[in-house]
Amino acid sequence: MASATMRALLILAILISGLLAGGNIDRAFVAMPAWQQVGAISWAEFSRHADLGNGLVLYPIEAIGGAALTFAAAIMFHFDRTAPQAATVPMYVAVLFAMGGLVLTIKAAPIMLSIRSLSEPTALQRAFVGFWYWGNLRAVCQVSAFLAQLAALAMLLCGNAQVPR
pLDDT, one tens digit per residue, over 94-113 is: 999 999 999 999 999 999 99
pLDDT band (50, 70, 90) for residue 3: confident
pLDDT, position 160:
56
Rounded Cα–Cα distance for residues 85 and 76 (Å): 13
Average of pLDDT values for 107-120?
Answer: 97
pLDDT, position 54:
97
pLDDT over threshold 90, residue 141:
yes
Closest CA to 146 of 7, 6, 16: 16
pLDDT band (50, 70, 90) for residue 2: confident
- pTM exceeds 0.95 for this model: no
Rounded Cα–Cα distance for residues 99 and 164 (Å): 27
pLDDT, position 52:
97
Rounded Cα–Cα distance for residues 150 and 11 (Å): 9
